[in-house]
Structure 1
Amino acid sequence: MTNKYSAAALLLFASFASAQAQDAARIANKVLGNDGQPELVQFTAEGKAAMRGLSGDQVLRQQLALTKADQMMQRTAETDQLGFVHQRFAQYYQGIRVEHADYLVHSKGGAVESINGDFDRISGLDVNPSVSQKAALNSALAHIGARTYMWQTAEANAESFKPTGELVIVRDRRAGENGPRVLAWKFNVYAAAPVSRAFIYVDAHTSQVVLQDDIIKHAAATGTFATAYSGSRSFTDGTTTGGYFLREGTTRGLGIETYNCKKGNSYTAAVDFIDADNNWTATEYNNANFDNVAGDAHVGAQATYDYWKNVHGRNSYDNAGAKIKSYVHFDDTPATAAGYENAYWNGSVMTYGDGATRFRPLTSLDVCGHEIGHAVCEKTANLTYSNESGAMNEGLSDIWGASIEAYAVGTLGFTSGGVKAKSTWLIGEEIDKVQAALRSMSDPKSLGQPAYYKGVNWYTGTGDNGGVHTNSGVLNHWYYILAVGKSGTNEGGGVYNVTGVGIDAAAKITYRMESVYMVASSTYAQARSYAIQAATDLYGAGSAQVTAVTNAWFAVGVGAAAGGTTPPPATAYCTSKGTSQAYEYVKLVQLGNINRTSGADAGYYNGTATSTSVAAGSSQTITYQTGFTGTAYAEYFRIYADWNQNGVFTDAGETLVSSTNTAAVTTTRSASFTVPTTAKNGPTRLRVVMSDNSATNSCGTYSYGETEDYTISVTGGTITAPTLTGDAPTRSELRTLSMFPNPATDVLNLSLSDNAAITSVMVNDLRGARVSGATFGEGTLHIGGLAKGMYTLTVSDGQKVYHQRFVKE
C-alpha cells in the first residue's frame, strides 16, 4: 500500500533520475579528483546549447554547484590561434582568495566546450583571524631569520618592500601537498642579507608558518652530473644540510625529484642521492650500483618537462605543474638479487629498474619520455589499455619518447654517453643488450611489429592486453612517415608518396589529436579522423600537412589516400565449411608467422587477421595436421592461395596441396611450394580445407571436416592499381581561399585560387556574432573600423563556403 511518504520518495527519485538523465545528455565527460570535485567537464552539443548565453562564472556556478559562500572571479581571458577563448577564474570563499585554486572555461564560437581546474569544496572554515597582521608578520620574519631586510636598507624605494599582509585560504603544507585548508596571512618578504624573497603564509589562528613559496629560488643550484647515457650534463638541483640533492624546487612546475630505492621495492623507504660539492663525477657515481643512472632519470625528467612546456605549452604531464618524481634502483623482488627488467609510470611516479640479462638500467632519455608520455595520455585521452586503444596508448608514448630525445639532442645539446648512440627512430636502443632496440619506428617489422594495419606481424591474441606493445607499430610508423616522409607500395598494394612535414609539425598534430579529440575507446580508424581534423585546425583544410597526414595513414593501411584513392577493395570469397567435427578437425596450420594449434572450430575458422609475408619467387613450406576426437580416419587436405586476388582458387598454380594419402595420419604433414613471380602484391587469401571426402574442393559445404582461412602478404610481385572511387571533383570543390596580409591593419586582400568571383563576405567575432565595421569590394576587405582582435571570415563563391581566421592589429 502506497502512503504519502513513499509517494514523496517516488517523486524525489523521479526528480533525481530526471536530473541525472539531463546531466548525462549535456555532459560528454566528467573527471573527478580524489576529493570528488570535477577536474574536467566536457559538454555535448545539447549541453553547449543549454549554456549558450551564460557567462563563464554562471557556467561554473551551475557545474560546480557553488554555494552562496563560493565566488569565481575572472583573472584573465585569452584567445588562442585556433579561436578558442580561455577564461581563468580564481576561487574565493566568503570573499577570501583560495590560494592556488583556479578554474578555466574554454569556449569557441560563443559555446562552452569544456571546463577544467582545481576547485576546493570548503565549508565551516572560520575566516575571522584571531592573530593580528602584525603578530603574523613577526612570525614570518622569525621564520626567515635574516640579518637585514630590503625595507631596512638605504635603497631609494626601500619602503615599498615592507610587507603588507593579505588574508587568504591556503593548504597547510606541513601536512603534505594535500594538507588541510587554513586561513592565513600572506606576506611577500624580501631579505637583503642573506638574500631571499618568498611568500610566507602564517596561520591566522595559530601564528605557525604553514607554507613558504620562494620567489628568489636561490636554494636551487646548478650542478654537473656525469650521466650513464647522455654524457656530462648541467642540471638544476637543490641544497640540503651537508650538500646537494636531486630535488629541483618550483622552477619547473612543482618540481623535479629523483630518489634512490636502494634495490628495494618501497617508495617510502627511498632516500635522497646527496653530493657534497654538486659535481657528480663518474669517479663517484659510475660504480657497481649504477648510481650514475640517477643523473639520467633527473635530467631526463627535466628535459621531458622542458619539451612539453616549450613545444606544446603544457605545464608538466597534467598541465597543472605536477611534480615529477622518479625512483631509480627499484627491484620488485629484492631477495632474488636478479635485477628488475622494467620501467613504468604507476599513475603518480616514475619507476626504473637496473636491468639484468636483457636490459641495462632503464633510465635512457627516450624511456623517460615514453613513461611520462603515459602520464600525459592518462590526463588527456586516457586511452583504455587494451587492443587498438591500448596499442595507440603505447604508440603515443613511443612518439613522445622519440620526439623528446630529438628535442634534447637538437635543442638542449644532449649527447650520447653510453654503449650505444642515440637514435631518434629507435626506442630503447641504449638499454637493450640483446638486439638493436625495443622497437623501430622507421622499420617496425625489423623488430617484430606490424608496419601495416592488420598486416604482417599484427597480433590477434589476448596476451599483452591484446598486443599493445606489438600493434603500436602501426601508429609509430605513421608518425615516422608523417615527420620524415616516405614513398613506396604498402602491404595492401597501394602506392603512396608522402612528403614529410618535420618532427615539430608532426608532434603538434599528434598532440592535438591526443589531447583534444581522442577518447578512451578510440580506434585506429578514429585516430585517422582525429589526426586529419587536428591538422585542419592547425594548418587549414587542404593544406600540405593535412595531405601528409592522410597519405601517411594510407601508407600504414588505415583509410583512403588524399584525393579519393582507397586500398584495393575487399574480395568476396565463397563459403567453405564442414558440417560435423564429431570425429576430425584441423589441428595445426603453420606457415611463417602463421602458427595455430587448435581444437574444433564449428566447421570454419576465419583467421584472416593472422598473416605472414612471402616474397614472389620464394620457396615456402606449409605444415598441417588433423586432430581426432577418437579413432583416426583417412583425411584429405586441399590448400589454396588466390595469387591473382580475383576471389577464386581455380586458377593455374593456386592449389598448393592436394593430398592423396588415404591412410589415417595423426602426425604433422608438410608440403613445399613456390610463390609465383606473377603473384600480386598485398594481402592474399590462404584457404586450408580438410575433409574425409576426396572430392571436396575450395567451395561449398561438406560432411566431415573443417576449413580455415588465413592471409598471405605478397611482396616483390606485381602491383595492384589503386581503385578510384567517387565522381571527379568539381572546380568549386578544388578551390581554395587566399588572404593577405595576416595580421592586417586596414585592408585584407581576398582571392580564390582560380580567380572565381566572390559573391559574399561576412565577418564574425570569436563568439560567432556578426560584426559591422568591415566592407568588401573588388577583392579587398576594409577592416579599419574593426577593434583589434581575432575574427572569423566567411566567404562564398555561390557554391562553396570558405572559412578563415585573421587578426586585426
Structure 2
Amino acid sequence: MLNKYPVAALLLFGALPYSSAFAQDAAKAAKKFMAEDGTPALVQFRVEAPAYTLSQARQAFVEQLQLSNDDQMLRARTDLDNLGFAHEKYTQYYKGIKVEHATYTLHAKQGKVESMSGQVERISNLSVTPSVDAKAALQRALAFVGAKKYMWEDPAEEAGLKQQENNPAATYRPQGELVIVRNEQSTNPARHGKPTLAWKFDVYAQSPVSRAYVYVDAHSGEVVLQDAIIKHAAATGTLATKYSGTQSSATSTTTGGYYLREATRGSGIETYNCRKSNSYTNAVDFVDADNNWTEYANANFDNAALDAHWGAQAVYDYWKNVHARNSYNNAGAKIKSYVHFDDTPGDGKGYENAYWNGSVMTYGDGYSRFDPLTSLDVCAHEIGHAVCSSTANLTYSNESGALNEGFSDIWGAAVEYYKAPNKATWLIGEDIDKVRPALRSMSDPNSEGQPDTYRGTSWYSGTGDNGGVHTNSGVLNHWFYILSVGKTGTNDIGSAYSVTGIGIDAAAKIAYRTESVYLTASSNYAAARTYSIQAATDLYGAGSAQVTAVTNAWYAVGVGAAAGGGTTPPPTTVTYCTSKGTNVSYEWIDLVSIGGINRTSSKDAGYYDGTALNANVTAGTAQTINFSAGFTSTAYTEYWKIFIDYNQDGDFSDAGETVVSGSSSSAATLSSTFTVPATAKNGKTRLRVVMSDNSGTTSCGSYSYGETEDYSITISGGAAIADTGDGGGSNMGLLAQTTTQNLELYPNPATDVLRLTMPNNIAITAVTVTDLRGVKVLGVKVEGNQLNVSSLAQGIYTLTATDGQKVFHQRFVKQ
C-alpha cells in the first residue's frame, strides 16, 4: 500500500512571514554538532534566550535544517520527562513518502526549545513512483529470506494472531509499505548509503525462525536493507529457581491450581510452555497445585520457567522504580514469555538462543553451548530490545545495531545489579554458558572476542551477524563499565586515559536518557558520544563531574577527545615546523570538526595547539571535515589549506598530504571530503588547518592575516609503513549557509522597495533572490541600490549580493 500522509497532518514548509531579525538571532544562537553525513545531529540554543517555542517548530526546521520544499515533517508524539522537558518528535516525509529512520525531536522547557536533535536525509530528484509493484517485491523479499515455512502458512498461528489481536483481518502475511530508506546492501559506491524508494515488508519465518523488516528497491527489485526484529542474544543469567534460588513471584489462581500469570504490573506478566515446539498458539500454562513450585527442578528443566516469570517481573520493577517507565513501551504493555521453544522440533537438539520477536519473549532450552536461556540478565537484555524498539528504534545492522545490542547488555547488567547485586554484574550469560566463563564481558570485552576500543583489537568489519552487532557492541559495553566504576590505562590506539567512575545508577540514568531522548534509528558511535554528553548535561549540569566522566569514558574506548579529567598519549618524537598568523584582528578560524574533533573558538593569537583532541579514521575510507572562518566585520576572501602527515615523517610535503585547498569569502560552515589512502601509516599523526588571506601561504612559517590550528588524527586499518600515494584531496563546498550582518536591507519587512547597503558602501555587481525552496526568482535587478519587490508574493526570501569577490547573504520578508 502507498503510505501517503494526510496533507492536513503535516508540518509544511510554506511562506509564512516572520521576523528576519529573529531568524538572524536564531542562527547566531545555534551551536551545531554535525553527523558524519554533514547534517546537524544536535542543535543547541542559549538557555537564557531560546530561539524558538514549540509553536514555531516550522521555523526551527526551516532555519536550522534547511529542508527543501519536497520535505515535510509530521509530528509523531510528545513525551514528558521528570526534568520538566517536553520532547516533540517529528518524522520526515519526502513528497509524501515516509523516510525510514529519519526523525527529529524538539526538546523544550515551558514551551521554549532548548535544543533539537535527530537525523534527516538530504534527498533530491528521487522518483516516488514505483517501477516494481508490491507483489513482485514481496517475492524478491521471500527469496532473500529463503525460509522453509512462514508464519502465515500455518493456519493455527494465523488463527492465534486473529484471537490475540481481536481482529478477524489480522495476518502474518506481509503487507507492502512504500518508504524511502538508505541502501545498505549494495557494494556499488554510487548506490551504497543513498536514499532509495523501497517496499518495506515484515517477514516472519517459522522455520528456520527469523523475523525482519526487509526493504526491496521499488525500481530495481534488489533488497537494500534487512533490519532484524528478532534480536538473537544468547543471553546471560541470574535468578529464579534454577539460577537464583527461591524467589517470591506473583501468580494467579484458576480452577486446577496456580498459573504463572499476574495482573498487578502494567497489563500483566504471563509465562507459557511451548512444550519443545515452535508454536505459540499451542503453548499451555505451567500449573502448580499448591503454589509451591519446588517440584519444577526436574529433568525437563521446567524450573527455567520460574526464572523467566520472576525475571520479567524484576525487569518490569526496574524500569518502573528506577526510570519511571511503565513496561517496555511506557504504556503498560503485557509481557509474555514462552519457555521450552524449539525452532526445529524432533531433531533432538534444543534451541540455543533467546529473543524478543517484536511482541513476546522466547526462550530455548539450550543444547551443547547453553543451559536454558532464562537467566535474569537474559530477560533484561531481551526486554531491553523492546525498550529500544519503543524509543530510539536503532536499526539492527552495523554500528547502530552494535549500539542496539550494547544497550540491551547495559540493561542486563543494570537489572542484575538492581535485583541480584551479588551476581557477576559485568559478565553476560555466566549462569547459562556451559563452555566459557560467559558469553560477553563488559569489564574485559577482549576476553570474549569483543573489542574494547573503537576499531581496535577484535573489531569486526565484515557483513556477518548484521555487520558485527554482537561483536562491536563491546565498545559500548566497556564505555558503560568504565563510566560506572572508573579505570586507568592505555587503549588499543595508544590513548592513555584515567576516568573516575560515577556509579552504575548514575551511568544507567545517562544511558537511558541517551537512548530514550536523543538517539535515532541510524545513530552511530559518534552520535552516541554527542548525545550521552548532552544527556549528562541535562541531568547533572554543564561542566559537572558526570559530564567529564562520560566524555573521558568515550575517549578511553577510542571515540572522541578527552575532557579535563582524562590524559593524552605520550607526545610523539616527530617535530613539526611552526606555522602561525601574525594578525588576527580581522579573521581567524572559528570551527574545525571531524570525527571526535568538534571545536568552536574565537581568535587564538594566530595559532592553536589542539593535538590533545583526536579523530579516529580508517585507511581507505572517505572522511568529511567541516570548518569556518570568523570575521570582525567584513568577510574577506580566505585561502584554506588542510594537511595530514599520512606517513608520519614530520612534514606535509609528500604527495596527497594536502587534503583540502581552496578559497572562500563566506563566514558559513564549509565542508570538504577526502579519502584516507590505504597506504597511510597506522597510529596517531598530525592534522594541520591553515587559513590565510595570502594564497601563497604554505604549511610552515609565519604569514600576516589568518590562523593555524593543529590537531591529532589516529589512523587504523592502514600500513605499518606508509607509502606517499595520492591522498585524495578534494575541493571545498558549502555545508550550510548563514546570514551575515555586513549587508543591510531596509525596510525589512518590505512592501514595495527594498534598499541595499553593502559594507563600506562597496559597489554591487550582481544580485540574486531565492525563495524558501531555494528556487531563484527571475527578473530581479537592482537600480540605485534599490530592489523593487512589489511583484513578489508574500513570504521569506534570501538575497545574495556580491562585489565580484565577496558574497553576502541576507533574508528579508515581503509583506
Q: Shorter-chain TM-score: which interval?
A: 0.3 to 0.5
Work out which structure has the larger RCO, using CA pairs closer than 8 Å and 6 or more positions apart in sequence.
2
TM-score by length of 2: 0.47
TM-score by length of 1: 0.47
